[in-house]
């Protein structure tokens, strides 16, 4: 890997001039040509590590997500990437597994790597954000909020939960259960509260406490919970799941039991990935995953550019998906 010194020598100029050429500063056209030629023959590319050490910041941002295998988060990542790309930033993706320790470790790496900023979908209980925030590095939270006074992009989870539930009642179901995520995850709590609100208003009173199931946020969690629901003495006739993967699990169990929708009502907060179900049959409350990513990245870019306004919270709307949607996942 050639250095600016070698390029400078070949072009007959000083290293500083080479640096200027590559940073868009004013240099006489003649020397620009000389430098570019020299750089080309030497296949020179500026060493980003050295540049970063000097500048104390890079064109790299970190994106920490809990589960890279969940299409919701990959769509979000895609949005982040596209927006970051536009501003010349590259994205480092880190999988936290919803593990606060891993989250903290990656946060530390992001700092000591001198990354320009981080977008964080926080784990259930926060890792140690304190340090990175104190240091003044830009951080944007996405999907879940943190205890810190930082920018955040959220979804109106309660409304989403309510919308899913309402759709089921409107379709004529009366005994609407809920498969919620683990306790302590904000987005899940909110979606579950949306469900409860609507049930309180519209149910005919036959719903049992067992109609609320807590499960892990994955396919197998959905399976377990759905099986438990079906085993009840008086089972529900419909179910709301508070995320996409649990919805898949529920549908699998239903299919195996021979009571696939629309015989049994299913509404999902989130998008059913790669589904063969029509939105007419399984209600999906579309979460703007990609848009969340784009928005978060935009906010981060602002901060990196030096924006110092007070922390903003942006809340995006979820909406019932229809066949007309060509959007995402």
Q: How far is the CB of 45 from DNA (least distance, A)?
A: 7
Closest CA to 222 of 256, 173, 174: 256
Among 28, 41, 47, 234, binds a copy of itself (CB under 8 A): 47
- Nearest-CA neighbor of 194 among 138, 124, 267, 145? 267
Q: Is residue 274 close enough to count as binding a copy of itself by CB under 8 A?
A: yes
When the beta carbons of 14 and 252 are compared against DNA, the nearer one is 14
Yes or no: say if 142 and 75 are a contact pair by the CB < 8 Å rule.
Answer: no
**CB-wise, 15 or 262, nearer to DNA?**
15
Query: C-alpha distances in angstroms, 199 versus 172, 192, 206, 248, 323?
Result: 13, 10, 10, 23, 26
Kindly tell me which of 5 and 255 has the beta carbon lying closer to DNA.
Answer: 5
Residue 139 DSSP SS3:
strand
Q: Which helix (H) or strand (E) holds 269?
A: strand 265-269
User: Does an H or E element contain 22, and which?
Assistant: helix 15-22
Q: Token pair of 80, please?
A: 């982040």
d(CA 141, CA 122): 7
Whose tokens are 């050295």? That residue is 50
* Cis amide linkage into residue 262, ω under 30° from 0: yes
Q: Which of 40, 255, 259, 313 binds a copy of itself (CB under 8 A)?
A: 255
> Of a copy of itself, DNA, none, which one does residue 121 interact with (CB within 5 to 8 Å by kind)?
none
User: Cβ closer to DNA: 50 or 257?
Assistant: 50
92 vs 193, which CB is nearer to a copy of itself? Answer: 92
Q: Check residue 68 for interaction with a copy of itself (CB under 8 A).
A: yes
Q: Of residues 96-155, which lie at the interface with a copy of itself (CB under 8 A)?
A: 106, 108-109, 111-114, 131, 135
Closest approach of DNA to the CB of residue 308, in Å: 20
Give yes or no for a contact between 11 and 31, defined as CB atoms under 8 angstroms apart.
yes
Residue with tokens 């807590």: 214
Please give the Cα distance from 129 to 136 (Å, whole number): 11
Q: How far is the CB of 274 from a copy of itself (least distance, A)?
A: 4
Residue 314 touching a copy of itself (CB under 8 A): no
Whether residue 65 contacts residue 95, with contact meaning beta carbons closer than 8 Å, is answered with yes
Quote the tokens at residue 183.
Answer: 């306790």
Binding site for DNA (CB under 7 A): 1, 3-5, 13-17, 19-20, 22-23, 25-28, 30-31, 44, 46-47, 50-51, 53-56
**φ, ψ of residue 127 in degrees (nearest 5):** -75, -165
CB of 30 to a copy of itself, least distance (A): 27
Q: Based on the shown chain and the rule CB under 8 A, indicate whether residue 205 belongs to the binding site for a copy of itself.
A: no
Minimum Å distance from CB 117 to DNA?
A: 18
In the bound state with a copy of itself, the residue whose beta carbon lies nearer, of 48 and 201, is: 48
Q: In the sheet where 176-180 sits, what is the strand order?
A: 212-214, 176-180, 238-241, 265-269, 283-286, 319-320
| 245 lines the binding site for a copy of itself (CB under 8 A) | yes
| 322 contributes a contact to a copy of itself by CB under 8 A | no
* Position 304 contacts a copy of itself (CB under 8 A): no
Residues in touch with a copy of itself (CB under 8 A): 1, 43, 45-50, 52-53, 58, 60, 68-69, 71, 74-75, 77-78, 81, 90-95, 106, 108-109, 111-114, 131, 135, 219, 245, 248, 251-252, 255-256, 260, 272-278, 329
């Amino acid at each position: 890997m050639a250095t600016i010194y070698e390029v400078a020598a070949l072009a007959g100029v000083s290293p500083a001039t080479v640096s200027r050429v590559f940073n868009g500063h004013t240099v006489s056209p003649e020397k620009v040509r000389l430098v570019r030629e020299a750089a080309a023959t030497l296949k020179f590319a500026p060493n980003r590590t050295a540049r970063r050490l000097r500048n104390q910041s890079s064109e790299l941002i970190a994106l920490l997500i809990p589960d890279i295998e969940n299409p919701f988060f990959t769509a979000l990542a895609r949005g982040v990437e596209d927006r970051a790309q536009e501003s010349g930033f590259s994205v480092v993706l880190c999988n936290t597994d919803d593990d606060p320790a891993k989250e903290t470790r990656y946060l530390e790496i992001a700092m000591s790597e001198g990354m320009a900023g981080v977008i964080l979908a926080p784990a259930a209980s926060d890792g140690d954000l304190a340090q990175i925030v104190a240091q003044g590095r830009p951080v944007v939270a996405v999907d879940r909020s943190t205890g810190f006074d930082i920018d955040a992009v959220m979804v109106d989870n309660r409304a989403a939960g309510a919308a899913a539930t309402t759709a089921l009642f409107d379709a004529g179901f009366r005994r609407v259960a809920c498969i919620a995520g683990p306790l302590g995850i904000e987005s899940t709590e909110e979606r579950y509260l949306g469900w409860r609100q609507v049930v309180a208003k519209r149910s005919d009173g036959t719903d049992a406490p067992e109609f609320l199931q807590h499960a892990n946020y994955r396919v197998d969690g959905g399976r377990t919970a759905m099986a438990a629901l079906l085993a009840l003495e008086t089972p529900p006739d419909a179910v709301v799941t508070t995320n996409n993967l649990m919805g898949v699990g529920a549908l699998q169990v239903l299919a195996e039991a021979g009571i696939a929708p629309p015989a049994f009502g299913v509404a999902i907060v989130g998008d059913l990935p790669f589904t063969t179900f029509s939105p007419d049959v399984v209600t999906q409350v579309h979460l703007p995953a990609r848009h969340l990513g784009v928005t978060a990245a935009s906010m981060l870019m602002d901060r990196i550019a030096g924006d110092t306004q007070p922390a903003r919270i942006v809340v995006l709307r979820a909406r019932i998906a229809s066949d007309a949607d060509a959007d995402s996942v």
